[in-house]
Copies of this chain bind each other. A is one copy, B any other.
Amino acid sequence: MKAMIINSFGDSSVFNQVELPTPEVISGSVLIKVAATSVNPVDYKIRNGTHPNLAPAFPAILHGDVAGTIIAVGEGVDGFKVGDEVYGCAGGLPSIQGALADFMLADARLIAPKPKTLSFEHAAALPLVTLTAWEGLFEKVRELKGRKVLIHAATGGVGHIAIQLAKWAGAEVYATASTSEKQEIAKKLGAKDTINYKQESVADYVERITNGQGFDVVFDTIGGENIERSFEAAAHYGEVISIQSGGKESYALGAMHGKSLSLHFVFMLLPMLRNADRQRHGEILRKVAGLVDAGQLKPLVDSKHFTFAEVGAAHDYLESGKATGKVVLRK
Protein backbone atom coordinates (compact mmCIF):
# COMPACT_ATOMS: atom_id res chain seq x y z
CA MET A 1 0.00 0.00 0.00
CA LYS A 2 0.99 3.65 -0.34
CA ALA A 3 1.70 5.50 2.89
CA MET A 4 2.90 8.97 3.84
CA ILE A 5 5.60 8.27 6.41
CA ILE A 6 8.26 10.09 8.39
CA ASN A 7 11.67 8.59 9.08
CA SER A 8 12.82 11.42 11.34
CA PHE A 9 11.31 14.36 13.21
CA GLY A 10 11.39 17.69 11.46
CA ASP A 11 9.48 20.32 9.53
CA SER A 12 6.62 19.53 7.18
CA SER A 13 9.04 18.40 4.44
CA VAL A 14 9.88 15.18 6.32
CA PHE A 15 6.88 13.34 4.87
CA ASN A 16 7.64 10.82 2.12
CA GLN A 17 5.30 8.66 0.11
CA VAL A 18 6.50 5.05 0.20
CA GLU A 19 5.23 1.56 -0.52
CA LEU A 20 4.66 -0.55 2.62
CA PRO A 21 3.09 -3.98 3.14
CA THR A 22 -0.66 -3.75 3.75
CA PRO A 23 -1.30 -4.72 7.42
CA GLU A 24 -2.92 -8.09 8.07
CA VAL A 25 -6.06 -7.97 10.14
CA ILE A 26 -5.57 -9.30 13.67
CA SER A 27 -7.81 -10.38 16.51
CA GLY A 28 -9.90 -7.54 17.91
CA SER A 29 -9.10 -5.24 14.99
CA VAL A 30 -10.55 -4.25 11.66
CA LEU A 31 -8.73 -3.26 8.48
CA ILE A 32 -10.02 0.05 7.14
CA LYS A 33 -9.66 1.29 3.57
CA VAL A 34 -8.88 4.87 4.48
CA ALA A 35 -10.93 7.56 2.73
CA ALA A 36 -10.04 10.63 4.81
CA THR A 37 -8.12 11.88 7.82
CA SER A 38 -7.76 15.23 9.56
CA VAL A 39 -4.93 17.14 11.23
CA ASN A 40 -4.84 17.83 14.94
CA PRO A 41 -2.16 19.91 16.68
CA VAL A 42 -0.79 16.77 18.31
CA ASP A 43 -0.01 15.43 14.82
CA TYR A 44 2.37 18.24 13.89
CA LYS A 45 3.81 18.20 17.41
CA ILE A 46 4.60 14.52 17.01
CA ARG A 47 6.04 15.18 13.55
CA ASN A 48 8.30 18.03 14.68
CA GLY A 49 9.63 16.09 17.67
CA THR A 50 7.90 18.03 20.45
CA HIS A 51 6.45 14.75 21.76
CA PRO A 52 8.88 11.97 20.74
CA ASN A 53 7.26 9.68 23.33
CA LEU A 54 3.99 9.88 21.39
CA ALA A 55 5.49 8.88 18.02
CA PRO A 56 5.12 5.50 16.31
CA ALA A 57 8.41 3.76 15.47
CA PHE A 58 10.02 4.82 12.18
CA PRO A 59 8.95 4.52 9.44
CA ALA A 60 6.06 6.21 11.22
CA ILE A 61 2.55 6.61 9.84
CA LEU A 62 0.99 9.57 11.68
CA HIS A 63 -2.58 10.81 12.28
CA GLY A 64 -5.22 9.37 14.56
CA ASP A 65 -8.41 10.57 12.93
CA VAL A 66 -9.76 8.31 10.22
CA ALA A 67 -12.88 7.65 8.17
CA GLY A 68 -13.20 4.81 5.70
CA THR A 69 -14.66 1.42 4.86
CA ILE A 70 -13.99 -1.89 6.58
CA ILE A 71 -12.40 -4.46 4.26
CA ALA A 72 -11.51 -7.15 6.81
CA VAL A 73 -12.69 -8.04 10.31
CA GLY A 74 -10.48 -9.74 12.89
CA GLU A 75 -11.42 -12.59 15.20
CA GLY A 76 -13.56 -11.69 18.19
CA VAL A 77 -14.89 -8.46 16.71
CA ASP A 78 -18.62 -8.03 17.13
CA GLY A 79 -20.77 -5.41 15.51
CA PHE A 80 -18.74 -4.69 12.38
CA LYS A 81 -18.72 -6.33 8.96
CA VAL A 82 -16.91 -5.83 5.66
CA GLY A 83 -18.32 -2.81 3.86
CA ASP A 84 -19.24 -0.83 7.01
CA GLU A 85 -18.40 2.84 6.82
CA VAL A 86 -16.69 3.83 10.07
CA TYR A 87 -14.84 6.65 11.80
CA GLY A 88 -12.61 6.96 14.85
CA CYS A 89 -9.35 8.12 16.36
CA ALA A 90 -7.29 4.98 16.34
CA GLY A 91 -3.56 5.35 15.77
CA GLY A 92 -0.56 7.46 14.93
CA LEU A 93 0.96 6.62 18.30
CA PRO A 94 3.53 4.15 19.69
CA SER A 95 2.60 0.58 18.62
CA ILE A 96 -0.36 1.74 16.53
CA GLN A 97 0.24 3.14 13.08
CA GLY A 98 -1.87 6.02 11.85
CA ALA A 99 -4.25 6.90 9.07
CA LEU A 100 -1.93 8.44 6.44
CA ALA A 101 -1.99 5.34 4.23
CA ASP A 102 -4.23 3.35 1.93
CA PHE A 103 -5.17 1.03 4.79
CA MET A 104 -5.23 1.32 8.59
CA LEU A 105 -5.42 -1.47 11.13
CA ALA A 106 -7.67 -0.21 13.93
CA ASP A 107 -8.73 -1.62 17.30
CA ALA A 108 -12.46 -2.21 16.79
CA ARG A 109 -13.21 -0.79 20.26
CA LEU A 110 -12.00 2.64 19.17
CA ILE A 111 -14.26 3.07 16.15
CA ALA A 112 -17.95 3.44 15.40
CA PRO A 113 -20.26 3.58 12.40
CA LYS A 114 -19.75 6.89 10.61
CA PRO A 115 -22.58 9.43 10.84
CA LYS A 116 -24.79 8.65 7.85
CA THR A 117 -25.31 12.31 6.99
CA LEU A 118 -21.62 13.13 6.68
CA SER A 119 -19.06 12.61 3.94
CA PHE A 120 -15.91 10.70 4.85
CA GLU A 121 -13.99 13.97 4.98
CA HIS A 122 -16.41 15.59 7.39
CA ALA A 123 -16.59 12.44 9.51
CA ALA A 124 -12.79 12.35 9.74
CA ALA A 125 -12.85 15.88 11.17
CA LEU A 126 -14.68 14.77 14.29
CA PRO A 127 -13.14 12.00 16.40
CA LEU A 128 -10.19 13.47 18.32
CA VAL A 129 -11.73 16.87 18.99
CA THR A 130 -15.19 15.51 19.78
CA LEU A 131 -13.85 12.89 22.19
CA THR A 132 -11.80 15.63 23.87
CA ALA A 133 -14.74 18.01 24.24
CA TRP A 134 -16.99 15.15 25.39
CA GLU A 135 -14.58 13.97 28.08
CA GLY A 136 -14.18 17.49 29.39
CA LEU A 137 -17.82 18.47 29.41
CA PHE A 138 -19.54 15.19 30.24
CA GLU A 139 -17.02 13.15 32.24
CA LYS A 140 -15.42 15.90 34.32
CA VAL A 141 -17.77 18.83 34.84
CA ARG A 142 -20.40 18.33 37.52
CA GLU A 143 -23.29 20.16 35.86
CA LEU A 144 -23.91 21.97 32.57
CA LYS A 145 -27.66 22.48 32.40
CA GLY A 146 -28.51 26.13 32.89
CA ARG A 147 -24.93 27.09 33.65
CA LYS A 148 -22.92 29.81 31.94
CA VAL A 149 -20.16 28.13 29.94
CA LEU A 150 -17.32 30.01 28.26
CA ILE A 151 -15.54 28.26 25.38
CA HIS A 152 -12.17 29.66 24.30
CA ALA A 153 -11.18 29.63 20.61
CA ALA A 154 -14.68 29.22 19.23
CA THR A 155 -13.67 28.10 15.75
CA GLY A 156 -10.80 25.85 16.80
CA GLY A 157 -11.05 22.09 16.54
CA VAL A 158 -12.15 21.42 20.11
CA GLY A 159 -13.82 24.82 20.54
CA HIS A 160 -16.40 24.51 17.79
CA ILE A 161 -17.48 21.09 19.04
CA ALA A 162 -17.55 22.17 22.69
CA ILE A 163 -19.92 25.04 21.85
CA GLN A 164 -22.38 22.63 20.26
CA LEU A 165 -22.13 19.92 22.93
CA ALA A 166 -22.51 22.39 25.80
CA LYS A 167 -25.50 23.98 24.10
CA TRP A 168 -27.06 20.55 23.50
CA ALA A 169 -26.60 19.79 27.21
CA GLY A 170 -28.60 22.86 28.15
CA ALA A 171 -25.82 25.31 29.00
CA GLU A 172 -25.84 29.00 28.18
CA VAL A 173 -22.80 29.16 25.94
CA TYR A 174 -20.39 32.05 25.34
CA ALA A 175 -17.30 31.90 23.18
CA THR A 176 -14.13 33.84 22.44
CA ALA A 177 -12.75 34.43 18.94
CA SER A 178 -10.23 36.71 17.27
CA THR A 179 -12.30 38.18 14.42
CA SER A 180 -15.87 39.25 13.78
CA GLU A 181 -16.19 36.52 11.12
CA LYS A 182 -15.30 33.86 13.70
CA GLN A 183 -17.67 35.45 16.20
CA GLU A 184 -20.49 35.08 13.64
CA ILE A 185 -19.62 31.40 13.16
CA ALA A 186 -19.67 30.89 16.95
CA LYS A 187 -23.18 32.34 17.13
CA LYS A 188 -24.36 30.04 14.34
CA LEU A 189 -22.90 27.09 16.28
CA GLY A 190 -25.01 28.04 19.29
CA ALA A 191 -23.17 30.69 21.30
CA LYS A 192 -25.55 33.14 22.95
CA ASP A 193 -22.93 35.87 22.82
CA THR A 194 -19.28 36.12 21.81
CA ILE A 195 -16.13 37.92 22.88
CA ASN A 196 -13.37 39.31 20.74
CA TYR A 197 -10.55 38.56 23.16
CA LYS A 198 -8.22 40.93 21.32
CA GLN A 199 -10.51 43.86 22.05
CA GLU A 200 -12.01 43.11 25.46
CA SER A 201 -10.26 42.27 28.75
CA VAL A 202 -11.31 39.34 30.91
CA ALA A 203 -12.55 41.71 33.61
CA ASP A 204 -14.60 43.63 31.06
CA TYR A 205 -16.34 40.65 29.51
CA VAL A 206 -16.94 39.03 32.91
CA GLU A 207 -18.64 42.28 33.91
CA ARG A 208 -20.59 42.64 30.67
CA ILE A 209 -21.84 39.06 30.38
CA THR A 210 -22.04 37.84 33.97
CA ASN A 211 -22.41 41.05 36.00
CA GLY A 212 -18.99 40.37 37.43
CA GLN A 213 -19.96 36.96 38.78
CA GLY A 214 -17.88 34.88 36.36
CA PHE A 215 -18.63 31.80 34.28
CA ASP A 216 -19.60 28.51 35.90
CA VAL A 217 -17.48 26.54 33.43
CA VAL A 218 -14.57 27.74 31.30
CA PHE A 219 -13.14 25.52 28.57
CA ASP A 220 -9.53 26.51 27.88
CA THR A 221 -8.36 25.04 24.59
CA ILE A 222 -5.15 27.06 24.39
CA GLY A 223 -3.05 26.47 27.52
CA GLY A 224 -0.34 28.71 28.93
CA GLU A 225 -1.51 32.09 30.12
CA ASN A 226 -5.00 31.28 28.96
CA ILE A 227 -5.32 28.84 31.88
CA GLU A 228 -4.72 31.71 34.30
CA ARG A 229 -7.10 33.90 32.29
CA SER A 230 -9.65 31.09 32.64
CA PHE A 231 -9.27 31.18 36.45
CA GLU A 232 -9.94 34.92 36.24
CA ALA A 233 -13.05 34.37 34.11
CA ALA A 234 -14.47 31.64 36.36
CA ALA A 235 -17.13 32.15 39.01
CA HIS A 236 -16.55 31.16 42.62
CA TYR A 237 -16.85 27.34 42.83
CA GLY A 238 -16.49 27.24 39.03
CA GLU A 239 -14.76 24.66 36.88
CA VAL A 240 -12.01 25.11 34.30
CA ILE A 241 -11.28 22.46 31.67
CA SER A 242 -7.92 22.48 29.93
CA ILE A 243 -6.33 20.32 27.28
CA GLN A 244 -2.90 22.02 27.23
CA SER A 245 -0.49 22.07 30.16
CA GLY A 246 2.58 22.84 28.10
CA GLY A 247 2.21 26.57 27.48
CA LYS A 248 4.00 27.52 30.69
CA GLU A 249 6.58 25.83 32.90
CA SER A 250 4.41 26.24 35.96
CA TYR A 251 1.22 27.90 37.08
CA ALA A 252 0.23 30.08 40.04
CA LEU A 253 -2.76 28.46 41.72
CA GLY A 254 -3.64 31.09 44.31
CA ALA A 255 -6.50 32.47 42.21
CA MET A 256 -7.88 28.93 41.87
CA HIS A 257 -7.75 28.43 45.61
CA GLY A 258 -9.25 31.83 46.36
CA LYS A 259 -12.35 30.98 44.33
CA SER A 260 -12.60 27.32 45.36
CA LEU A 261 -12.21 26.32 41.69
CA SER A 262 -11.77 22.95 40.03
CA LEU A 263 -9.34 22.38 37.17
CA HIS A 264 -9.87 19.38 34.91
CA PHE A 265 -7.24 18.28 32.44
CA VAL A 266 -8.28 16.13 29.50
CA PHE A 267 -5.73 13.91 27.78
CA MET A 268 -7.78 12.18 25.17
CA LEU A 269 -5.00 9.88 23.88
CA LEU A 270 -4.87 7.84 27.11
CA PRO A 271 -7.06 4.89 26.05
CA MET A 272 -4.85 4.42 22.98
CA LEU A 273 -1.57 4.93 24.84
CA ARG A 274 -2.48 2.70 27.78
CA ASN A 275 -4.58 0.16 25.86
CA ALA A 276 -7.16 0.59 28.61
CA ASP A 277 -10.81 1.55 28.52
CA ARG A 278 -10.78 1.81 24.73
CA GLN A 279 -14.40 0.74 24.28
CA ARG A 280 -15.45 4.00 25.96
CA HIS A 281 -14.27 5.92 22.90
CA GLY A 282 -16.19 3.71 20.51
CA GLU A 283 -19.30 4.17 22.65
CA ILE A 284 -18.95 7.96 22.70
CA LEU A 285 -18.49 8.02 18.91
CA ARG A 286 -21.71 6.02 18.49
CA LYS A 287 -23.57 8.65 20.52
CA VAL A 288 -21.84 11.42 18.57
CA ALA A 289 -22.94 9.87 15.26
CA GLY A 290 -26.51 9.90 16.58
CA LEU A 291 -26.23 13.58 17.52
CA VAL A 292 -24.80 14.44 14.11
CA ASP A 293 -27.54 12.57 12.25
CA ALA A 294 -30.14 14.28 14.46
CA GLY A 295 -28.79 17.66 13.41
CA GLN A 296 -27.39 18.54 16.86
CA LEU A 297 -23.70 18.55 15.94
CA LYS A 298 -21.72 19.29 12.83
CA PRO A 299 -18.04 19.61 12.12
CA LEU A 300 -16.63 22.95 11.04
CA VAL A 301 -14.30 22.15 8.16
CA ASP A 302 -11.94 24.66 6.61
CA SER A 303 -12.66 25.38 2.95
CA LYS A 304 -9.09 24.46 1.98
CA HIS A 305 -8.88 20.70 1.39
CA PHE A 306 -5.72 18.63 0.94
CA THR A 307 -4.81 15.23 -0.45
CA PHE A 308 -2.75 12.74 1.56
CA ALA A 309 0.26 13.63 -0.62
CA GLU A 310 -0.17 17.24 0.56
CA VAL A 311 -0.06 16.41 4.27
CA GLY A 312 2.97 18.64 4.86
CA ALA A 313 1.10 21.65 3.52
CA ALA A 314 -1.93 20.69 5.62
CA HIS A 315 0.24 20.63 8.75
CA ASP A 316 1.70 24.05 7.92
CA TYR A 317 -1.75 25.45 7.30
CA LEU A 318 -3.16 24.27 10.65
CA GLU A 319 -0.03 25.39 12.49
CA SER A 320 -0.26 28.85 10.88
CA GLY A 321 -3.44 29.50 12.82
CA LYS A 322 -5.20 30.61 9.64
CA ALA A 323 -7.56 27.66 9.39
CA THR A 324 -11.17 27.94 10.51
CA GLY A 325 -12.21 24.67 12.10
CA LYS A 326 -10.67 21.39 11.07
CA VAL A 327 -8.18 20.79 8.26
CA VAL A 328 -9.11 17.57 6.45
CA LEU A 329 -7.29 15.39 3.93
CA ARG A 330 -8.89 13.12 1.33
CA LYS A 331 -7.31 10.30 -0.60
Which chain A residues have a beta carbon within 8 Å of chain B's beta carbons?
A: 135, 139-140, 142, 227, 236-237, 242-246, 249-254, 256-267, 270, 274, 276
> Is there an interface contact between B253 and A251, defined as CB atoms closer than 8 Å?
yes
18 intermolecular pairs with C-beta atoms under 8 Å apart: A135-B260, A139-B237, A140-B262, A142-B142, A236-B276, A245-B254, A245-B257, A249-B250, A251-B251, A251-B252, A251-B253, A253-B265, A257-B265, A258-B267, A259-B270, A260-B265, A260-B270, A262-B263
* A100 to B: closest C-beta gap in Å: 25
Say whether, besides A260-B267, A266-B260, A267-B260, A252 and B253 are in contact (CB < 8 Å).
no
* CB contact between A265 and one of B246, B256, B276 (< 8 Å): that residue: B256
* A283 to B: closest C-beta gap in Å: 16
> Is there an interface contact between B263 and A267, defined as CB atoms closer than 8 Å?
no
For A265, the chain B residues whose CB sits under 8 A away are: 253, 256-257, 259-262
List 4 A-B pairs, minimum CB-CB distance, nearest first: A245-B257, A250-B250, A257-B265, A245-B253
Q: How far is the CA of A256 from the CA of B249 in the complex (A)?
A: 13
> Is there an interface contact between A274 and B236, defined as CB atoms closer than 8 Å?
yes
Q: How far is the CA of A45 from the CA of B244 in the complex (A)?
A: 34
> Is there an interface contact between A236 and B270, defined as CB atoms closer than 8 Å?
yes
Q: Which of A139, A254, A263, A266 has the most CB of B within 10 A?
A: A263
For A270, the chain B residues whose CB sits under 8 A away are: 236-237, 259-260
* A42 to B: closest C-beta gap in Å: 12
Say whether, besides A251-B251, A252-B250, A263-B262, A257 and B242 are in contact (CB < 8 Å).
yes
* CB contact between A250 and one of B242, B251, B267 (< 8 Å): that residue: B251
* CB contact between A259 and one of B135, B261, B267 (< 8 Å): that residue: B267
Q: How far is the CA of A237 from the CA of B139 in the complex (A)?
A: 10
For A249, the chain B residues whose CB sits under 8 A away are: 250, 252
Q: Which of A135, A260, A274 has the most CB of B within 10 A?
A: A260
> Is there an interface contact between B262 and A257, defined as CB atoms closer than 8 Å?
no
When C-beta atoms are compared, the residue in chain B nearest to A140 turns out to be B262
Q: Which of A246, A253, A261 has the most CB of B within 10 A?
A: A253
